[in-house]
Structure 1
Protein backbone atom coordinates (compact mmCIF):
# COMPACT_ATOMS: atom_id res chain seq x y z
CA UNK A 1 0.00 0.00 0.00
CA UNK A 2 1.30 3.43 -0.96
CA UNK A 3 0.70 6.30 1.48
CA UNK A 4 0.22 9.80 0.06
CA UNK A 5 0.15 12.97 2.14
CA UNK A 6 -0.09 15.45 -0.74
CA UNK A 7 -2.81 15.78 -3.36
CA UNK A 8 -0.43 16.35 -6.28
CA UNK A 9 1.40 13.09 -5.59
CA UNK A 10 -1.91 11.26 -5.30
CA UNK A 11 -3.12 12.81 -8.56
CA UNK A 12 -0.08 11.52 -10.45
CA UNK A 13 -0.67 8.02 -9.08
CA UNK A 14 -4.36 8.13 -10.00
CA UNK A 15 -3.55 9.31 -13.52
CA UNK A 16 -1.05 6.47 -13.98
CA UNK A 17 -3.67 3.93 -12.93
CA UNK A 18 -6.34 5.43 -15.20
CA UNK A 19 -3.89 5.54 -18.12
CA UNK A 20 -3.48 1.80 -17.62
CA UNK A 21 -7.25 1.43 -18.01
CA UNK A 22 -7.92 0.75 -14.33
CA UNK A 23 -11.08 1.80 -12.52
CA UNK A 24 -10.65 3.63 -9.21
CA UNK A 25 -12.69 2.84 -6.10
CA UNK A 26 -12.70 5.29 -3.19
CA UNK A 27 -13.48 4.78 0.50
CA UNK A 28 -13.40 8.06 2.47
CA UNK A 29 -13.02 7.66 6.25
CA UNK A 30 -12.13 9.59 9.38
CA UNK A 31 -10.01 6.72 10.67
CA UNK A 32 -10.54 4.66 13.85
CA UNK A 33 -11.21 1.88 11.37
CA UNK A 34 -13.36 -1.15 12.17
CA UNK A 35 -14.74 -4.12 10.26
CA UNK A 36 -17.42 -1.94 8.66
CA UNK A 37 -14.75 0.17 6.98
CA UNK A 38 -12.85 -2.92 5.89
CA UNK A 39 -16.06 -4.28 4.35
CA UNK A 40 -16.16 -1.11 2.20
CA UNK A 41 -12.55 -1.76 1.15
CA UNK A 42 -13.53 -5.33 0.23
CA UNK A 43 -16.51 -4.10 -1.81
CA UNK A 44 -14.28 -1.64 -3.65
CA UNK A 45 -11.69 -4.32 -4.42
CA UNK A 46 -14.40 -6.54 -5.91
CA UNK A 47 -15.80 -3.77 -8.10
CA UNK A 48 -12.68 -1.84 -9.12
CA UNK A 49 -9.02 -2.49 -9.93
CA UNK A 50 -7.54 0.13 -7.59
CA UNK A 51 -8.86 1.00 -4.12
CA UNK A 52 -7.98 4.32 -2.52
CA UNK A 53 -8.85 5.02 1.11
CA UNK A 54 -8.58 8.39 2.81
CA UNK A 55 -8.21 9.11 6.51
CA UNK A 56 -8.97 12.69 7.47
CA UNK A 57 -10.82 13.88 10.57
CA UNK A 58 -12.59 16.82 8.99
CA UNK A 59 -12.90 19.78 11.39
CA UNK A 60 -15.61 21.56 9.41
CA UNK A 61 -18.26 18.88 9.94
CA UNK A 62 -18.11 18.93 13.74
CA UNK A 63 -20.63 21.40 15.14
CA UNK A 64 -19.34 20.43 18.61
CA UNK A 65 -15.62 21.35 18.99
CA UNK A 66 -15.30 18.97 21.95
CA UNK A 67 -16.56 16.10 19.80
CA UNK A 68 -13.83 16.90 17.27
CA UNK A 69 -11.14 16.88 19.95
CA UNK A 70 -12.36 13.56 21.36
CA UNK A 71 -12.75 11.76 18.02
CA UNK A 72 -10.62 8.58 18.19
CA UNK A 73 -7.30 8.79 16.34
CA UNK A 74 -5.66 5.40 15.73
CA UNK A 75 -3.58 5.93 12.60
CA UNK A 76 -0.96 3.19 13.10
CA UNK A 77 -3.49 0.37 13.70
CA UNK A 78 -5.54 1.80 10.83
CA UNK A 79 -2.61 1.46 8.43
CA UNK A 80 -2.06 -2.14 9.54
CA UNK A 81 -5.73 -2.96 8.89
CA UNK A 82 -5.71 -1.35 5.44
CA UNK A 83 -2.54 -3.19 4.45
CA UNK A 84 -4.00 -6.49 5.62
CA UNK A 85 -7.17 -5.77 3.62
CA UNK A 86 -5.16 -5.19 0.44
CA UNK A 87 -5.93 -1.50 0.04
CA UNK A 88 -3.78 -0.06 -2.74
CA UNK A 89 -3.37 3.56 -1.67
CA UNK A 90 -4.01 5.64 1.45
CA UNK A 91 -4.46 9.40 1.31
CA UNK A 92 -3.45 10.92 4.64
CA UNK A 93 -3.62 14.70 4.29
CA UNK A 94 -3.07 17.38 6.90
CA UNK A 95 -5.67 20.11 7.48
CA UNK A 96 -3.49 22.59 5.54
CA UNK A 97 -3.51 20.27 2.52
CA UNK A 98 -7.30 20.08 2.50
CA UNK A 99 -7.95 23.70 3.45
CA UNK A 100 -4.92 25.75 2.33
CA UNK A 101 -6.89 29.00 2.80
CA UNK A 102 -8.12 27.95 6.24
CA UNK A 103 -11.56 26.81 7.34
CA UNK A 104 -13.31 30.18 7.57
CA UNK A 105 -15.78 31.54 5.00
CA UNK A 106 -15.95 28.28 3.05
CA UNK A 107 -18.31 27.60 0.16
CA UNK A 108 -21.92 26.59 0.87
CA UNK A 109 -24.01 23.99 -0.92
CA UNK A 110 -27.69 23.93 -1.81
CA UNK A 111 -28.85 20.78 -0.01
CA UNK A 112 -32.50 21.78 0.18
CA UNK A 113 -34.67 20.20 2.84
CA UNK A 114 -32.02 17.57 3.72
CA UNK A 115 -30.41 20.21 5.92
CA UNK A 116 -33.62 20.90 7.84
CA UNK A 117 -34.53 17.47 9.22
CA UNK A 118 -33.03 14.67 11.31
CA UNK A 119 -29.21 15.08 11.34
CA UNK A 120 -29.54 18.39 9.51
CA UNK A 121 -31.79 19.75 12.24
CA UNK A 122 -29.77 18.51 15.21
CA UNK A 123 -26.31 19.17 13.79
CA UNK A 124 -26.54 22.55 12.02
CA UNK A 125 -23.71 23.06 9.56
CA UNK A 126 -22.66 19.40 9.72
CA UNK A 127 -23.65 18.53 6.17
CA UNK A 128 -22.05 21.68 4.77
CA UNK A 129 -18.82 20.42 6.33
CA UNK A 130 -19.36 16.96 4.84
CA UNK A 131 -19.80 18.52 1.40
CA UNK A 132 -16.79 20.80 1.82
CA UNK A 133 -14.46 17.89 2.51
CA UNK A 134 -16.08 15.45 0.08
CA UNK A 135 -15.91 17.97 -2.77
CA UNK A 136 -12.19 18.31 -2.16
CA UNK A 137 -11.58 14.58 -1.80
CA UNK A 138 -13.61 13.69 -4.89
CA UNK A 139 -11.77 16.34 -6.92
CA UNK A 140 -8.44 14.94 -5.75
CA UNK A 141 -9.22 11.24 -6.19
CA UNK A 142 -11.61 11.42 -9.18
CA UNK A 143 -12.95 7.91 -8.51
CA UNK A 144 -15.19 5.85 -10.74
CA UNK A 145 -17.01 4.42 -7.72
CA UNK A 146 -17.50 5.80 -4.21
CA UNK A 147 -18.24 3.40 -1.34
CA UNK A 148 -20.00 4.56 1.83
CA UNK A 149 -21.81 2.85 4.70
CA UNK A 150 -25.59 2.84 4.99
CA UNK A 151 -25.34 3.50 8.73
CA UNK A 152 -24.90 7.16 7.79
CA UNK A 153 -28.13 7.00 5.80
CA UNK A 154 -28.78 10.72 5.48
CA UNK A 155 -25.13 11.44 4.75
CA UNK A 156 -25.32 9.08 1.76
CA UNK A 157 -28.26 11.11 0.46
CA UNK A 158 -26.35 14.35 0.99
CA UNK A 159 -23.31 13.01 -0.88
CA UNK A 160 -25.59 11.84 -3.69
CA UNK A 161 -26.88 15.42 -3.90
CA UNK A 162 -23.29 16.72 -3.87
CA UNK A 163 -22.38 14.47 -6.80
CA UNK A 164 -25.26 16.04 -8.73
CA UNK A 165 -24.12 19.56 -7.83
CA UNK A 166 -20.54 18.72 -8.86
CA UNK A 167 -21.75 17.01 -12.04
CA UNK A 168 -19.46 14.19 -10.99
CA UNK A 169 -19.62 10.92 -12.93
CA UNK A 170 -18.67 8.96 -9.80
CA UNK A 171 -21.16 6.25 -8.82
CA UNK A 172 -22.15 6.20 -5.15
CA UNK A 173 -22.53 2.70 -3.74
CA UNK A 174 -24.15 2.56 -0.29
CA UNK A 175 -23.14 -0.66 1.46
CA UNK A 176 -25.19 -2.37 4.21
CA UNK A 177 -24.47 -1.55 7.85
CA UNK A 178 -22.20 -4.05 9.58
CA UNK A 179 -23.17 -4.96 13.12
CA UNK A 180 -21.55 -6.53 16.15
CA UNK A 181 -22.84 -9.94 17.21
CA UNK A 182 -25.29 -8.25 19.61
CA UNK A 183 -26.69 -5.96 16.89
CA UNK A 184 -24.85 -2.72 17.68
CA UNK A 185 -23.95 -0.90 14.47
CA UNK A 186 -20.19 -0.72 14.05
CA UNK A 187 -18.98 2.82 14.60
CA UNK A 188 -15.72 4.55 15.47
CA UNK A 189 -17.60 6.31 18.28
CA UNK A 190 -18.21 2.96 19.99
CA UNK A 191 -14.58 3.18 21.17
CA UNK A 192 -15.62 6.02 23.48
CA UNK A 193 -18.32 4.02 25.28
CA UNK A 194 -17.66 2.78 28.79
CA UNK A 195 -18.10 -1.01 29.25
CA UNK A 196 -21.46 -0.36 30.94
CA UNK A 197 -22.69 1.94 28.19
CA UNK A 198 -21.39 -0.43 25.53
CA UNK A 199 -23.91 -2.97 26.86
CA UNK A 200 -26.69 -0.38 26.96
CA UNK A 201 -25.93 0.73 23.41
CA UNK A 202 -27.50 -2.42 21.99
CA UNK A 203 -30.88 -0.93 22.94
CA UNK A 204 -30.80 1.13 19.73
CA UNK A 205 -30.81 -2.03 17.62
CA UNK A 206 -33.57 -3.53 19.76
CA UNK A 207 -35.53 -0.31 19.36
CA UNK A 208 -35.21 -0.37 15.57
CA UNK A 209 -36.20 -4.03 15.48
CA UNK A 210 -39.30 -3.21 17.52
CA UNK A 211 -40.21 -0.37 15.15
CA UNK A 212 -39.81 -2.66 12.14
CA UNK A 213 -41.93 -5.46 13.63
CA UNK A 214 -44.69 -3.23 14.95
CA UNK A 215 -44.88 -0.98 11.89
CA UNK A 216 -44.95 -3.88 9.45
CA UNK A 217 -47.83 -5.34 11.47
CA UNK A 218 -49.80 -2.11 11.04
CA UNK A 219 -49.46 -0.61 14.52
CA UNK A 220 -50.03 3.15 14.42
CA UNK A 221 -46.87 5.24 14.45
CA UNK A 222 -47.65 7.25 17.62
CA UNK A 223 -47.97 3.97 19.54
CA UNK A 224 -44.78 2.56 18.04
CA UNK A 225 -42.86 5.77 18.66
CA UNK A 226 -43.96 5.90 22.30
CA UNK A 227 -42.78 2.32 22.88
CA UNK A 228 -39.46 2.94 21.15
CA UNK A 229 -38.86 6.20 22.99
CA UNK A 230 -39.57 4.57 26.37
CA UNK A 231 -37.22 1.70 25.55
CA UNK A 232 -34.38 4.15 24.91
CA UNK A 233 -35.03 6.48 27.85
CA UNK A 234 -35.35 3.50 30.23
CA UNK A 235 -31.87 2.41 29.10
CA UNK A 236 -30.46 5.85 29.92
CA UNK A 237 -30.43 7.47 26.48
CA UNK A 238 -31.01 11.14 25.83
CA UNK A 239 -32.87 11.17 22.51
CA UNK A 240 -32.44 13.56 19.59
CA UNK A 241 -34.95 11.76 17.39
CA UNK A 242 -36.83 8.54 16.73
CA UNK A 243 -38.44 8.87 13.31
CA UNK A 244 -40.02 6.98 10.44
CA UNK A 245 -39.27 8.32 6.97
CA UNK A 246 -39.63 7.66 3.27
CA UNK A 247 -36.53 5.65 2.36
CA UNK A 248 -35.99 7.65 -0.84
CA UNK A 249 -36.64 11.20 0.37
CA UNK A 250 -36.42 11.11 4.20
CA UNK A 251 -39.70 12.98 4.37
CA UNK A 252 -41.93 11.75 7.25
CA UNK A 253 -43.68 8.48 6.41
CA UNK A 254 -45.94 8.32 9.43
CA UNK A 255 -49.36 7.64 7.97
CA UNK A 256 -51.87 6.52 10.61
CA UNK A 257 -51.71 2.90 9.52
CA UNK A 258 -48.82 1.16 7.79
CA UNK A 259 -51.17 -0.12 5.09
CA UNK A 260 -51.90 3.47 3.99
CA UNK A 261 -48.23 4.19 3.30
CA UNK A 262 -46.99 1.69 0.72
CA UNK A 263 -43.58 3.14 -0.12
CA UNK A 264 -40.27 1.92 1.28
CA UNK A 265 -39.62 3.26 4.76
CA UNK A 266 -36.64 3.64 7.05
CA UNK A 267 -36.59 4.00 10.83
CA UNK A 268 -33.88 6.33 12.14
CA UNK A 269 -32.57 6.94 15.64
CA UNK A 270 -30.05 9.40 17.10
CA UNK A 271 -29.42 9.46 20.84
CA UNK A 272 -26.75 10.15 23.43
CA UNK A 273 -25.30 7.74 25.97
CA UNK A 274 -23.38 10.06 28.25
CA UNK A 275 -21.50 12.37 25.88
CA UNK A 276 -21.35 9.84 23.02
CA UNK A 277 -23.88 10.37 20.25
CA UNK A 278 -24.93 7.24 18.36
CA UNK A 279 -27.00 6.95 15.19
CA UNK A 280 -28.52 3.96 13.44
CA UNK A 281 -31.26 3.07 11.01
CA UNK A 282 -33.18 0.13 9.62
CA UNK A 283 -35.17 -0.38 6.43
CA UNK A 284 -38.66 -1.56 7.33
CA UNK A 285 -40.04 -3.07 4.15
CA UNK A 286 -37.38 -5.76 3.85
CA UNK A 287 -38.10 -9.35 4.81
Structure 2
Protein backbone atom coordinates (compact mmCIF):
# COMPACT_ATOMS: atom_id res chain seq x y z
CA UNK A 1 0.00 0.00 0.00
CA UNK A 2 1.28 3.41 -0.97
CA UNK A 3 0.51 6.56 1.02
CA UNK A 4 0.80 9.81 -0.91
CA UNK A 5 0.23 13.44 0.00
CA UNK A 6 0.34 15.36 -3.27
CA UNK A 7 -1.62 15.45 -6.50
CA UNK A 8 1.59 14.85 -8.46
CA UNK A 9 2.39 11.64 -6.56
CA UNK A 10 -1.20 10.44 -6.82
CA UNK A 11 -1.53 11.02 -10.54
CA UNK A 12 1.79 9.34 -11.27
CA UNK A 13 0.54 6.15 -9.62
CA UNK A 14 -2.86 6.37 -11.29
CA UNK A 15 -1.15 6.80 -14.65
CA UNK A 16 0.80 3.57 -14.18
CA UNK A 17 -2.47 1.77 -13.48
CA UNK A 18 -3.99 3.22 -16.63
CA UNK A 19 -1.02 2.11 -18.71
CA UNK A 20 -1.59 -1.45 -17.47
CA UNK A 21 -5.29 -1.25 -18.43
CA UNK A 22 -6.27 -1.59 -14.77
CA UNK A 23 -9.58 -0.22 -13.51
CA UNK A 24 -9.61 2.22 -10.61
CA UNK A 25 -12.11 2.37 -7.77
CA UNK A 26 -12.31 5.31 -5.40
CA UNK A 27 -13.57 5.52 -1.81
CA UNK A 28 -13.57 9.08 -0.42
CA UNK A 29 -13.43 9.36 3.39
CA UNK A 30 -12.69 11.85 6.13
CA UNK A 31 -10.86 9.24 8.17
CA UNK A 32 -11.82 7.96 11.63
CA UNK A 33 -12.49 4.73 9.80
CA UNK A 34 -14.84 2.02 11.01
CA UNK A 35 -16.28 -1.21 9.64
CA UNK A 36 -18.66 0.74 7.40
CA UNK A 37 -15.76 2.36 5.57
CA UNK A 38 -13.95 -0.95 5.34
CA UNK A 39 -17.04 -2.51 3.72
CA UNK A 40 -16.75 0.19 1.04
CA UNK A 41 -13.09 -0.74 0.51
CA UNK A 42 -14.03 -4.40 0.19
CA UNK A 43 -16.76 -3.55 -2.33
CA UNK A 44 -14.29 -1.41 -4.23
CA UNK A 45 -11.78 -4.23 -4.49
CA UNK A 46 -14.55 -6.44 -5.89
CA UNK A 47 -15.53 -3.89 -8.54
CA UNK A 48 -12.15 -2.54 -9.69
CA UNK A 49 -8.59 -3.76 -10.12
CA UNK A 50 -7.15 -1.00 -7.95
CA UNK A 51 -8.56 0.76 -4.89
CA UNK A 52 -7.76 4.37 -4.05
CA UNK A 53 -8.91 5.77 -0.70
CA UNK A 54 -8.72 9.43 0.30
CA UNK A 55 -8.53 10.72 3.86
CA UNK A 56 -9.25 14.42 4.06
CA UNK A 57 -11.32 16.29 6.64
CA UNK A 58 -12.79 18.84 4.27
CA UNK A 59 -13.10 22.21 6.05
CA UNK A 60 -15.51 23.74 3.56
CA UNK A 61 -18.29 21.23 4.23
CA UNK A 62 -18.51 22.05 7.94
CA UNK A 63 -20.93 24.88 8.72
CA UNK A 64 -20.10 24.52 12.44
CA UNK A 65 -16.42 25.27 13.29
CA UNK A 66 -16.74 23.34 16.55
CA UNK A 67 -17.92 20.26 14.64
CA UNK A 68 -14.85 20.55 12.40
CA UNK A 69 -12.55 20.92 15.40
CA UNK A 70 -14.08 17.93 17.19
CA UNK A 71 -14.18 15.62 14.18
CA UNK A 72 -12.05 12.60 15.16
CA UNK A 73 -8.69 12.26 13.46
CA UNK A 74 -7.03 8.84 13.74
CA UNK A 75 -4.65 8.69 10.80
CA UNK A 76 -2.20 6.08 12.09
CA UNK A 77 -5.01 3.70 12.99
CA UNK A 78 -6.76 4.40 9.68
CA UNK A 79 -3.66 3.53 7.65
CA UNK A 80 -3.22 0.26 9.54
CA UNK A 81 -6.84 -0.69 8.81
CA UNK A 82 -6.53 0.19 5.13
CA UNK A 83 -3.35 -1.81 4.75
CA UNK A 84 -5.00 -4.79 6.42
CA UNK A 85 -7.92 -4.45 3.99
CA UNK A 86 -5.63 -4.24 0.96
CA UNK A 87 -6.19 -0.72 -0.30
CA UNK A 88 -3.65 0.08 -2.99
CA UNK A 89 -3.23 3.84 -2.52
CA UNK A 90 -4.20 6.20 0.28
CA UNK A 91 -4.27 9.89 -0.60
CA UNK A 92 -3.79 12.08 2.51
CA UNK A 93 -3.52 15.66 1.26
CA UNK A 94 -3.01 18.86 3.20
CA UNK A 95 -5.64 21.56 2.73
CA UNK A 96 -3.41 23.55 0.37
CA UNK A 97 -3.16 20.55 -1.95
CA UNK A 98 -6.93 20.53 -2.42
CA UNK A 99 -7.45 24.30 -2.28
CA UNK A 100 -4.17 25.87 -3.48
CA UNK A 101 -5.79 29.30 -3.84
CA UNK A 102 -7.41 29.09 -0.40
CA UNK A 103 -11.09 28.68 0.43
CA UNK A 104 -12.34 32.28 0.42
CA UNK A 105 -13.52 32.50 -3.20
CA UNK A 106 -14.54 29.02 -4.31
CA UNK A 107 -16.91 28.13 -7.14
CA UNK A 108 -20.59 27.40 -6.51
CA UNK A 109 -22.78 24.70 -8.02
CA UNK A 110 -26.44 24.74 -8.98
CA UNK A 111 -27.49 21.67 -7.06
CA UNK A 112 -31.20 22.43 -7.30
CA UNK A 113 -33.84 21.84 -4.59
CA UNK A 114 -31.86 18.90 -3.19
CA UNK A 115 -29.38 21.35 -1.66
CA UNK A 116 -31.95 23.19 0.43
CA UNK A 117 -33.88 20.35 2.11
CA UNK A 118 -33.07 18.23 5.17
CA UNK A 119 -29.27 18.26 5.66
CA UNK A 120 -29.06 21.24 3.33
CA UNK A 121 -31.48 23.22 5.49
CA UNK A 122 -29.75 22.36 8.77
CA UNK A 123 -26.19 22.62 7.47
CA UNK A 124 -26.12 25.64 5.12
CA UNK A 125 -23.29 25.43 2.61
CA UNK A 126 -22.55 21.80 3.46
CA UNK A 127 -23.33 20.37 0.05
CA UNK A 128 -21.45 23.14 -1.77
CA UNK A 129 -18.46 21.99 0.27
CA UNK A 130 -19.08 18.37 -0.64
CA UNK A 131 -19.35 19.24 -4.35
CA UNK A 132 -16.17 21.30 -4.25
CA UNK A 133 -14.00 18.63 -2.68
CA UNK A 134 -15.52 15.78 -4.68
CA UNK A 135 -14.95 17.53 -8.00
CA UNK A 136 -11.29 18.08 -7.15
CA UNK A 137 -10.75 14.51 -5.99
CA UNK A 138 -12.59 13.01 -8.95
CA UNK A 139 -10.65 15.08 -11.45
CA UNK A 140 -7.36 14.12 -9.81
CA UNK A 141 -8.13 10.39 -9.73
CA UNK A 142 -10.51 9.94 -12.71
CA UNK A 143 -11.83 6.67 -11.27
CA UNK A 144 -13.88 4.10 -13.13
CA UNK A 145 -16.10 3.48 -10.11
CA UNK A 146 -16.96 5.65 -7.09
CA UNK A 147 -18.24 3.97 -3.94
CA UNK A 148 -20.07 5.78 -1.14
CA UNK A 149 -22.32 4.73 1.75
CA UNK A 150 -26.12 4.82 1.86
CA UNK A 151 -26.10 6.25 5.40
CA UNK A 152 -25.30 9.61 3.81
CA UNK A 153 -28.11 9.18 1.30
CA UNK A 154 -28.63 12.84 0.50
CA UNK A 155 -24.90 13.27 -0.06
CA UNK A 156 -25.00 10.33 -2.49
CA UNK A 157 -27.75 12.06 -4.48
CA UNK A 158 -25.74 15.29 -4.52
CA UNK A 159 -22.62 13.51 -5.79
CA UNK A 160 -24.63 11.72 -8.47
CA UNK A 161 -25.90 15.11 -9.61
CA UNK A 162 -22.35 16.48 -9.59
CA UNK A 163 -21.19 13.60 -11.80
CA UNK A 164 -23.86 14.55 -14.33
CA UNK A 165 -22.88 18.23 -14.16
CA UNK A 166 -19.18 17.69 -14.76
CA UNK A 167 -19.79 14.87 -17.24
CA UNK A 168 -17.33 12.39 -15.78
CA UNK A 169 -17.88 8.80 -16.97
CA UNK A 170 -17.81 7.30 -13.47
CA UNK A 171 -20.00 4.42 -12.33
CA UNK A 172 -21.56 5.26 -8.96
CA UNK A 173 -22.23 2.51 -6.43
CA UNK A 174 -24.13 3.23 -3.21
CA UNK A 175 -23.26 0.60 -0.60
CA UNK A 176 -25.98 -0.39 1.89
CA UNK A 177 -25.65 1.10 5.38
CA UNK A 178 -23.47 -0.97 7.69
CA UNK A 179 -24.90 -1.28 11.19
CA UNK A 180 -23.80 -2.30 14.65
CA UNK A 181 -25.36 -5.47 16.06
CA UNK A 182 -28.09 -3.38 17.73
CA UNK A 183 -28.92 -1.52 14.51
CA UNK A 184 -27.09 1.77 15.05
CA UNK A 185 -25.68 3.00 11.75
CA UNK A 186 -21.91 2.99 11.88
CA UNK A 187 -20.51 6.52 11.94
CA UNK A 188 -17.25 8.18 12.90
CA UNK A 189 -19.28 10.40 15.21
CA UNK A 190 -20.44 7.41 17.28
CA UNK A 191 -17.12 7.35 19.12
CA UNK A 192 -18.02 10.74 20.64
CA UNK A 193 -21.10 9.25 22.37
CA UNK A 194 -21.03 8.58 26.10
CA UNK A 195 -21.89 5.02 27.16
CA UNK A 196 -25.39 6.10 28.20
CA UNK A 197 -26.02 8.02 24.97
CA UNK A 198 -24.65 5.15 22.91
CA UNK A 199 -27.44 2.95 24.33
CA UNK A 200 -30.06 5.60 23.56
CA UNK A 201 -28.75 6.13 20.03
CA UNK A 202 -30.28 2.86 18.83
CA UNK A 203 -33.69 4.53 19.12
CA UNK A 204 -33.06 6.20 15.76
CA UNK A 205 -32.81 2.82 14.06
CA UNK A 206 -35.80 1.51 15.99
CA UNK A 207 -37.78 4.58 14.93
CA UNK A 208 -36.99 3.98 11.27
CA UNK A 209 -38.05 0.37 11.61
CA UNK A 210 -41.29 1.51 13.25
CA UNK A 211 -41.99 3.89 10.37
CA UNK A 212 -41.30 1.13 7.88
CA UNK A 213 -43.74 -1.20 9.63
CA UNK A 214 -46.52 1.38 10.19
CA UNK A 215 -46.61 3.77 7.22
CA UNK A 216 -49.50 1.90 5.59
CA UNK A 217 -51.58 1.96 8.77
CA UNK A 218 -51.69 5.58 9.94
CA UNK A 219 -51.38 9.12 8.54
CA UNK A 220 -47.82 10.30 8.04
CA UNK A 221 -48.21 13.27 10.39
CA UNK A 222 -49.40 10.99 13.20
CA UNK A 223 -46.56 8.56 12.53
CA UNK A 224 -43.97 11.35 12.61
CA UNK A 225 -45.53 12.68 15.80
CA UNK A 226 -45.28 9.33 17.59
CA UNK A 227 -41.64 8.89 16.58
CA UNK A 228 -40.83 12.48 17.51
CA UNK A 229 -42.35 12.11 20.97
CA UNK A 230 -40.34 8.95 21.60
CA UNK A 231 -37.11 10.62 20.58
CA UNK A 232 -37.79 13.72 22.67
CA UNK A 233 -38.66 11.59 25.69
CA UNK A 234 -35.30 9.82 25.36
CA UNK A 235 -33.45 13.15 25.40
CA UNK A 236 -32.89 13.75 21.69
CA UNK A 237 -33.00 17.19 20.09
CA UNK A 238 -34.67 16.56 16.73
CA UNK A 239 -33.75 18.24 13.47
CA UNK A 240 -36.13 16.22 11.34
CA UNK A 241 -38.21 13.07 11.10
CA UNK A 242 -39.56 12.79 7.55
CA UNK A 243 -40.89 10.47 4.89
CA UNK A 244 -39.78 11.46 1.39
CA UNK A 245 -39.60 10.41 -2.20
CA UNK A 246 -36.35 8.52 -2.58
CA UNK A 247 -35.56 10.13 -5.94
CA UNK A 248 -35.52 13.78 -4.85
CA UNK A 249 -36.12 13.80 -1.06
CA UNK A 250 -39.28 15.87 -1.40
CA UNK A 251 -41.21 15.49 1.85
CA UNK A 252 -44.45 13.53 1.56
CA UNK A 253 -47.61 14.02 3.59
CA UNK A 254 -49.23 10.82 2.31
CA UNK A 255 -48.11 7.63 0.56
CA UNK A 256 -47.23 7.68 -3.12
CA UNK A 257 -46.80 4.78 -5.51
CA UNK A 258 -43.08 5.41 -5.78
CA UNK A 259 -39.90 4.62 -3.90
CA UNK A 260 -40.10 6.23 -0.45
CA UNK A 261 -37.52 6.71 2.28
CA UNK A 262 -37.66 7.70 5.96
CA UNK A 263 -34.88 9.94 7.27
CA UNK A 264 -34.03 11.10 10.79
CA UNK A 265 -31.49 13.59 12.11
CA UNK A 266 -31.21 14.23 15.85
CA UNK A 267 -28.68 15.12 18.52
CA UNK A 268 -28.00 13.23 21.72
CA UNK A 269 -25.40 14.49 24.17
CA UNK A 270 -24.36 17.13 21.63
CA UNK A 271 -23.55 14.52 18.96
CA UNK A 272 -25.58 14.81 15.76
CA UNK A 273 -26.63 11.50 14.24
CA UNK A 274 -28.34 10.82 10.91
CA UNK A 275 -29.87 7.68 9.48
CA UNK A 276 -32.33 6.65 6.80
CA UNK A 277 -34.12 3.61 5.49
CA UNK A 278 -36.12 2.74 2.38
CA UNK A 279 -39.69 2.02 3.41
CA UNK A 280 -41.20 1.21 -0.01
CA UNK A 281 -40.74 -0.81 -2.09
TM-score, scaled to structure 2: 0.99
Separation (CA, whole Å) in 2 of partners of 1:275 and 1:107: 32
Alignment-derived partner of residue 184 in structure 2: 184
Alignment-derived partner of residue 210 in structure 2: 210
Given the alignment of the two structures, is residue 153 of structure 1 paired with residue 153 of structure 2, yes or no? yes
Shift in Å, 1:254: 2.3
**3-state SS, counterpart of residue 45 of structure 2:** helix
Runs of at least 5 residues in structure 2 that lack an aligned partner in the other structure: none
Alignment-derived partner of residue 115 in structure 2: 115
State the Cα RMSD in Å: 0.7
Equivalent positions of 1:47-86 (< 5 A) are 47-86=47-86
Separation (CA, whole Å) in 1 of partners of 2:94 and 2:212: 42
Equivalent positions of 1:102-181 (< 5 A) are 102-181=102-181
Alignment-derived partner of residue 251 in structure 1: 250
**3-state SS, counterpart of residue 39 of structure 1:** helix
Shift in Å, 1:274: 2.1
Alignment-derived partner of residue 265 in structure 1: 260
Alignment-derived partner of residue 237 in structure 1: 236
**3-state SS, counterpart of residue 281 of structure 1:** strand
Separation (CA, whole Å) in 2 of partners of 1:274 and 1:195: 11
Separation (CA, whole Å) in 1 of partners of 2:252 and 2:52: 37
Separation (CA, whole Å) in 2 of partners of 1:38 and 1:26: 13
Shift in Å, 1:132: 0.7
TM-score, scaled to structure 1: 0.97
Separation (CA, whole Å) in 1 of partners of 2:88 and 2:126: 30
Shift in Å, 1:275: 1.6
Separation (CA, whole Å) in 2 of partners of 1:87 and 1:219: 47
Superimposed CA distance per residue, residues 182-215 of structure 1 (whole angstroms, 9 cap, x where no aligned partner): 0000000001111111111001001101111111
Separation (CA, whole Å) in 1 of partners of 2:272 and 2:7: 32
Shift in Å, 1:172: 1.1
Superimposed CA distance per residue, residues 204-233 of structure 1 (whole angstroms, 9 cap, x where no aligned partner): 001101111111x33210110011101111
Separation (CA, whole Å) in 2 of partners of 1:58 and 1:238: 26
Runs of 4+ in 1 over 4 A off after TM superposition: none
Separation (CA, whole Å) in 1 of partners of 2:128 and 2:217: 37
Shift in Å, 1:165: 1.0
Aligned pair count reads 281
Separation (CA, whole Å) in 2 of partners of 1:166 and 1:277: 31
Separation (CA, whole Å) in 2 of partners of 1:37 and 1:226: 33
Superimposed CA distance per residue, residues 13-33 of structure 1 (whole angstroms, 9 cap, x where no aligned partner): 101101101100000000000
Given the alignment of the two structures, is residue 283 of structure 1 paired with residue 278 of structure 2, yes or no? yes
Alignment-derived partner of residue 219 in structure 2: 220
